[in-house]
């Protein structure tokens, strides 16, 4: 008899967003009239079309693929050199950060990379994860067998949870105990909080002292408006020796459906072997990519490259301004409705305290039922997310304004 991976059976219910999708479908089937006025502020999926510079680059690339002389088959698994160079130059070196072209690994998404990185890390690491958190960090560790069972609140044995609350500005502090792997996401999904330089310095210090590795998810860095907030973990001295950074074109270039992202693995980052030797992770990640991945399509990599052209940068800025404008409208609407509101200033997510005695899923049902608006229940991001919900600012301006208006009519 073939054996299955028992660890999958420890996972709680479905992945959060398919679960929301199921509930929304049930609502729409039961109430077709209300379904017509449904506005989705649940999953953080972009709504605006691709920037014109990207569309033009894709058209050119399609034409190249249509001619024998310029046709491309397999590309380098780690990404074309010209894209790796554009990323390293524009996202890092132009900001004074020391990142080499071949430390950039182009992929089809940060979600995949955050999960796949576990392939090159040992099985006995002590893993620290914020709570609430992007569910992928937890679930991929469950799937890999790094955790125990979940308790009634959905917290898994063996994971060291780092609570994020209003008292720490939703940015976790280093724990008082040893951990080996730390997941940090800044600007944060779901809370919208962004870690300050001193907070990131404290984490790099902790990681250096503990020979730990920080997995730094910076998928939302383009939303940072506060000039004092670091865009990259490599702005912190010492991070090249203790951090891997994940970046994405999904939320800045609108690539959620186009798929392109990258991971930075510095050559100076080492981890320990079973025998106690320190070895670099860079060749392991490269080896993993060449074995398990065949690269992002040529057309999509040309599209990503166009984001770094002068017009591409302008167009990305307009997209970010648009979504941050929505965040401003939604924040103001939620505040006017009398709710306690966090985030939404350096991130496209607004994190809202539910009224007293209302659970996250009760808030979800109430807002869906009365306002016909989909939000995300905070408890789906972890036990400390209970009592909160997340509003995504990815929408048209008209929808953001309508949602802000409907919030005023809610009766708890
Ligand atoms: C979210 O809504 O949290 C995001 O869409 C998740 C993701 O980017 O995978």
**DSSP per residue, 96-107:** T----GGGEEEE
The DSSP secondary-structure symbol of 298 reads H
Ligand 1 within 6 A of CB of 241: no
Where does 300-368 show beta strands of DSSP type E?
341-343, 349-353
In a domain, 194, yes or no: yes
Instruction: Answer whether 134's CB lies under 8 Å from 217's CB.
Output: yes
94 and 197 together in one domain: yes
Give me 63's structure tokens.
């034409």
Minimal CA–CA distance to 324: which of 337, 300, 308, 343?
343
- C-alpha 21 – ligand 1 centre gap (Å): 13
- For atom 3 of ligand 1, which residue has the closest CA? 44
How far apart CA 121 and CA 107 sit, in angstroms, is 19
Question: Considering its fold, how many domains does the chain have in total?
Answer: 2
Closest approach atom of ligand 1 to CA 136: 9
Strands 349-353 and 341-343: antiparallel
- Residues 368, 262 share a domain: no
Cβ proximity of 91 and 248 under 8 Å: no
| Contact assessment for residue 194 and residue 188, using Cβ atoms and an 8 Å cutoff | yes
Q: How far, in Å, is the centroid of ligand 1 from the Cα of 70?
A: 36
Task: Say yes or no: CB of residue 385 within 6 Å of ligand 1.
Answer: no
Ligand 1 centroid to Cα of residue 391, in Å, is 12
Mean pLDDT by 10 residues, the chain (412 residues): 96 79 93 94 96 98 98 98 98 97 98 98 97 96 96 91 97 97 98 98 98 98 98 98 98 98 98 97 98 98 98 98 98 97 98 93 95 96 95 98 97 89
Q: Phi first, then psi: give them for residue 304, nearest 5 degrees.
A: -65, -40
For 83-122, write each residue's pLDDT tens digit.
999 999 999 999 999 999 999 999 999 999 999 999 999 9
Residue 241: Cβ-neighbour burial (10 angstroms; 0-12, 13-18, 19+)? middle
Q: Are strands 388-392 and 349-353 parallel, antiparallel or unpaired?
A: antiparallel
Residues 131, 252 within the same domain: yes
Does 226 lie in the same domain as 79?
A: yes
Q: Which of 290, 309, 328 is the last residue of a domain?
A: 309
**How many CA atoms lie within 13 Å of 351's alpha carbon, on the beta-carbon side?**
29
Report whether residue 112 contacts ligand 1, using a CB cutoff of 6 Å.
Answer: no
Q: Identify whether 5 is part of a domain.
A: no
The number of C-alpha atoms within 13 Å of 332 and in the hemisphere containing its C-beta is: 10
Domain boundary among 271, 287, 309: 309
How far apart CA 11 and CA 233 sit, in angstroms, is 30
Structure tokens at 331: 């924040």
Site to substitute for ligand 1 among 18, 43, 380, most atoms within 8 A of C-beta: 43
Residue 356 has φ and ψ, to the nearest 5°, of: -50, 140
What number does the ligand 1 atom closest to the CA of 17 have?
2
Q: Do residues 172 and 229 share a domain?
A: yes
402 CA distance to ligand 1 middle (Å)? 23
Which of 309, 330, 362 represents a domain boundary (last residue)? 309
Tabulate helix, strand, coil % of the chain (nearest 5).
45, 15, 40
40 lines ligand 1 (CB under 6 A): no
44 Cβ below 6 A of ligand 1? yes
Residue 16, pLDDT score: 81
Residue 274 lies in a domain: yes
Q: Which ligand 1 atom is at minimum distance from the Cα of 111?
A: 9
| Angle at 46 (CA atoms; ends 45, 49), nearest 5 degrees | 145
Question: Is residue 274 located within the same domain as residue 352?
Answer: no
Atom 8, ligand 1: residue with shortest CA distance: 44
Query: What confidence tens digit (pLDDT) does each residue in 207-265 have?
Result: 999 999 999 999 999 999 999 999 999 999 999 999 999 999 999 999 999 999 999 99
Which residue puts its alpha carbon closest to atom 6 of ligand 1? 44
Domain identity same for 15 and 128: no
pLDDT of residue 87: 98
Q: 40 CA distance to ligand 1 centroid (A)?
A: 13
Q: CB within 8 A of 392, min separation 6: which ones? A: 41, 42, 43, 44, 45, 348, 349, 375, 376
Crossing angle of the two packed helices 310-336 and 52-65, in degrees rounded to 10:
130
Considering the domain boundaries, does residue 3 fall inside one? no
Residue at 35 is within a domain: yes
Closest ligand 1 atom number to CA of residue 250: 8
Written as six digits, the tokens of 394 are: 């990815």
Task: Assess if residue 24 is contained within a domain.
Answer: yes
pLDDT digits over 195-210, tens only?
999 999 999 999 999 9
Q: Which atom of ligand 1 is nearest the CA belonging to 251?
A: 8
Do residues 379 and 355 touch, judged by C-beta distance below 8 A? no
- Tell me 150's DSSP state: B
Domain that holds residue 212: 55-309
Q: Are 237 and 251 in a shared domain?
A: yes
Residues 112 and 93 in one domain: yes
Ligand 1 contact, 45 CB (< 6 A): yes
Residues 136 and 260 in one domain: yes
Q: For residue 249, which phi and psi values (nearest 5 degrees)?
A: -95, 5
Domain with 184 in it: what CATH number?
A: 3.40.640.10
Q: Is residue 4 part of a domain?
A: no
Residue 200 lies in a domain: yes
What number of other Cβ atoms are within 10 A of residue 357's Cβ?
8
pLDDT number for residue 108 = 98
- Residues 106 and 224 reside in one and the same domain: yes
Ligand 1 within 6 A of 188 CB? no
| Distance in Å, CA 45 to ligand 1 centroid | 7
Mean pLDDT of the chain: 96
296 CA → ligand 1 middle, Å? 20
- Are 19 and 98 part of one and the same domain? no
CATH number at residue 372: 3.90.1150.10
């Amino acid at each position: 008899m073939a054996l299955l991976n028992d660890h999958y059976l420890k996972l709680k219910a479905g992945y959060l967003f398919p679960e929301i999708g199921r509930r929304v479908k049930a609502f729409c089937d039961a109430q077709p009239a209300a379904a017509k006025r449904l506005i989705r502020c649940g999953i953080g999926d972009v709504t605006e079309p691709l920037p014109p510079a990207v569309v033009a680059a894709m058209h050119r690339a399609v034409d190249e693929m249509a001619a024998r002389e310029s046709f491309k088959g397999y590309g380098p698994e780690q990404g074309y050199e010209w894209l790796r160079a554009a990323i390293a130059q524009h996202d890092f070196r132009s900001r004074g950060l020391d990142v080499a072209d071949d430390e950039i690994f182009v992929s089809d998404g940060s979600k995949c990379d955050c999960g796949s990185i576990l392939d090159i890390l040992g099985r006995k690491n002590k893993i620290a994860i914020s709570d609430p958190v992007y569910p992928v960090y937890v679930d991929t560790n469950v799937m890999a067998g790094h955790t125990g069972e979940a308790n009634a609140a959905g917290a898994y044995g063996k994971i060291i949870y780092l609570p994020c609350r209003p008292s720490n500005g939703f940015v976790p502090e280093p724990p008082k105990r040893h951990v080996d792997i730390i997941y940090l996401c800044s600007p944060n999904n779901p809370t919208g909080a962004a870690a300050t330089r001193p907070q990131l310095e404290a984490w790099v210090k902790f990681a250096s002292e503990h020979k730990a590795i920080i997995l730094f998810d910076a998928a939302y860095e383009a939303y940072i408006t506060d000039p004092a907030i670091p865009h990259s973990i490599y702005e912190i001295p010492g991070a090249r020796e203790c951090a891997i950074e994940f970046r994405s074109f999904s939320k800045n270039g609108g690539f959620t459906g186009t798929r392109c992202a990258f991971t930075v693995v510095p050559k100076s980052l080492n981890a320990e072997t079973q025998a106690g030797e320190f070895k670099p992770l860079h060749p392991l990640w490269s080896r993993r990519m060449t074995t398990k991945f065949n690269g992002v399509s040529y057309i999509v990599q040309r599209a990503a490259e166009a984001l770094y052209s002068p017009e591409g940068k302008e167009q990305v800025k307009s997209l970010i301004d648009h979504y941050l404008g929505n965040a401003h409208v939604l924040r103001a609407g939620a505040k006017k409705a009398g709710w306690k509101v966090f985030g939404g200033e350096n991130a496209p997510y607004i994190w809202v305290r539910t009224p007293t005695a209302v659970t996250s899923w009760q808030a979800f049902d109430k807002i869906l039922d009365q306002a016909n608006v989909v939000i995300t229940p905070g408890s789906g991001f972890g036990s400390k997310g209970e009592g909160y919900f997340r509003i995504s600012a990815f929408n048209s301006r008209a929808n953001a304004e309508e949602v802000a208006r409907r919030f005023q009519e809610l009766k708890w």
